[in-house]
Structure 1
């Protein structure tokens, strides 16, 4: 069924359809307070039609990265409808404790989506029209103020290595100040911006074309970009904010640094000047195997068993 977040009669129809399937487990992705009314209502209605349904929230975020009216009561409304929680980072678990301390929960890192097999770097760069021999850092995903793209820009101006930045994702902010700063810093020939939604089948091209992935966030709970980078054996530079650093072993699968341009520049310089890509490979392969979808299923099985035992 298709959920319409602003149409309550649709919520009733969705709940009826879900109940008709007679599922043992209902998984609910929670990440935006805006969606809390429809999700909380659907779960409650589905359980009214089928009381045996167990509902588990997959919690990406508890607290929104950007201000949202009534975020706390809306979040509480959807959380109260759930029997248990699968949390994608310890940071999310800490936020959950502000709302609930008793329901069953498990923490499991975000696994990598399977968007397709790796592509040779040269081929990926040719298909994207990128320079074949440039050191390339990738910023991937929706562009929002909290993701710190401006910090990356300032870092590029400080690196002695002429790092080329590939920025791929749809912008949810005005790009004009960014491009003005690009011009002021004289970086126009070292920046490529693909301001659009990147299709799933295109994702391997972008990751495989890059040497390293940069997440210069000012705040974060977790990120699906990090495991995707590991899937394509690309190390990451992440900032020490929220749960972002939980995913990365400093010096093995990437760099964990302060959310500051100088720290980002130092990490990029170290990576490219000392040609560290090969040293990261084995650790990236191990990380990708550890965060598998099979492991998620095992974790959900254990969580569901605990919920059932408590009922």
Structure 2
């Protein structure tokens, strides 16, 4: 850890989610530039990430939020960091905006990383509430030009830091060949072209479109569609029933359960390409996993996906006929895969965490 007196808190309400992965990756590098503490949930396990910077476990389950948010305020006022960097709103932006103003009254600078401009499945009032929330902060950090434009359209005039979402290299635990990875995933043959849908299974992420694509390509030999991720409690019953229908499909491998941290590397190493047939969203940590494992991706043209492809390899689809467009993109990538793989060389420099941490330090006046 640095001996700098610049004390900052990086806050993630969850302790075992994609936001946590992001916060840990950032803290790992910021800790070399400032005195960093990760403020997170009781479910956080530093051994999982193999990191040793300080942390405080203040949050528990959502039902305990009313008590925990008071604990958080008391802890922050007691420790008095120079700056606090929240990773998104914690739970309720309308309430938490007032907490931000309170902490600023005590001389604590407040910054926010905006991972999604609006909540998933936004309400009619979400845009107004989020715009008000964003204006409470001294500094804002976004990951795409579309997010910058979105902030301006919402009437938020704070000049943000535009910095890409870093790659998730924390999941690369050991050298692993594709053959070794596939040996851990029964059902994948040595000649199969593997397309991976990874992460929380949700309708908005296009899981049904991905499975419909597998049906369109069922007669094409040696193409396997792998689904790896837990079903959310909000998955509609009709979508769950549709998911179950593909459990016995010959070209689908369905692992619809939470993937342990140490198993993530097997899925990405085994895959040729990563699929993101998203229907809605701003950014995705799954892309940064694909980049960490040097895999091209196929995605719907939403959020920052097109911007990321300027620096990476893959294909975008318009999303008007999702299954047919994805089937065509998979066929094109498979036919010319050597070229897509070759394009990956030396393209990830701007997505490395040391570069991202230095940009944070300069923007937040930590360096």
TM-score class, shorter: 0.7 to 0.9
Provide TM-score, normalisation by structure 1. Answer: 0.85
Is the 8 Å Cα contact of residues 86 and 113 (structure 2) preserved in structure 1? yes
Is the 8 Å Cα contact of residues 231 and 285 (structure 1) preserved in structure 2? no
Aligned to 1:229: 290
Which of the numbers 58, 61, 66 marks the counterpart of 1:2? Answer: 58
Give the Cα–Cα distance (whole angstroms) in 2 for the partners of residues 293 and 39 of structure 1. 28
Aligned to 1:176: 241
Q: Which runs of 5+ in 2 are unaligned?
A: 1-56
Which of the numbers 150, 167, 185 marks the counterpart of 2:227? Answer: 167
CA offsets 1:243-262 (integer angstroms, 9 cap, x no match): 22221149x61111222222
The list of structure 1 runs, each at least 4 consecutive aligned residues, that deviate by more than 6 angstroms after superposition, is: none
CA offsets 1:226-280 (integer angstroms, 9 cap, x no match): 1210110111001112322221149x61111222222211111122233x1x333
Give the Cα–Cα distance (whole angstroms) in 2 for the partners of residues 225 and 200 of structure 1. 14
Give the Cα–Cα distance (whole angstroms) in 2 for the partners of residues 120 and 37 of structure 1. 48
CA offsets 1:133-177 (integer angstroms, 9 cap, x no match): 221110011111111122222222333344211101112313212
Where in structure 2 are the equivalents of 1:78-89 lying within 5 Å? 78-89=133-144
Give the Cα–Cα distance (whole angstroms) in 2 for the partners of residues 39 and 287 of structure 1. 38
| Deviation for aligned residue 1:70 | 4.2
Q: Would the alpha carbon gap of residues 42 and 101 (structure 1) be closer, same or farther in structure 2, given more than 3 Å must change? A: closer
Note the aligned Cα RMSD (angstroms): 2.6
Where in structure 2 are the equivalents of 1:1-311 lying within 5 Å? 1-3=57-59, 7-30=65-88, 34-37=91-94, 39-48=96-105, 50-51=106-107, 53-68=108-123, 70-113=125-168, 114-117=170-173, 118-133=175-190, 134-159=192-217, 160-172=220-232, 173=235, 174=237, 175-180=240-245, 182=246, 188-249=249-310, 253-259=313-319, 260-274=322-336, 276=337, 278-305=338-365
Is the 8 Å Cα contact of residues 166 and 193 (structure 1) preserved in structure 2? yes
Is the 8 Å Cα contact of residues 196 and 267 (structure 2) preserved in structure 1? yes
Is the 8 Å Cα contact of residues 171 and 196 (structure 1) preserved in structure 2? yes
Count of residues in Structure 1 that have an aligned counterpart in Structure 2: 297
Q: Which runs of 5+ in 1 are unaligned?
A: none
Deviates more, 1:35-44 or 1:214-223: 35-44
Q: Secondary structure at the match of 1:188?
A: coil
Is the 8 Å Cα contact of residues 126 and 132 (structure 1) preserved in structure 2? no
Is the 8 Å Cα contact of residues 131 and 156 (structure 2) preserved in structure 1? no
Give the Cα–Cα distance (whole angstroms) in 1 for the partners of residues 229 and 124 of structure 2. 26
| Deviation for aligned residue 1:36 | 1.8
Is the 8 Å Cα contact of residues 172 and 293 (structure 2) preserved in structure 1? no
| Deviation for aligned residue 1:37 | 4.4
Give the Cα–Cα distance (whole angstroms) in 1 for the partners of residues 301 and 257 of structure 2. 28
CA offsets 1:14-42 (integer angstroms, 9 cap, x no match): 1221233332221111168x432464344
Provide TM-score, normalisation by structure 2. Answer: 0.73
Give the Cα–Cα distance (whole angstroms) in 1 for the partners of residues 331 and 102 of structure 2. 55
| Deviation for aligned residue 1:195 | 1.5
Is the 8 Å Cα contact of residues 230 and 287 (structure 1) preserved in structure 2? no
Give the Cα–Cα distance (whole angstroms) in 1 for the partners of residues 89 and 279 of structure 2. 18
Q: Would the alpha carbon gap of residues 77 and 11 (structure 1) be closer, same or farther in structure 2, given more than 3 Å must change? A: farther
Is the 8 Å Cα contact of residues 143 and 163 (structure 2) preserved in structure 1? yes
| Deviation for aligned residue 1:282 | 4.5
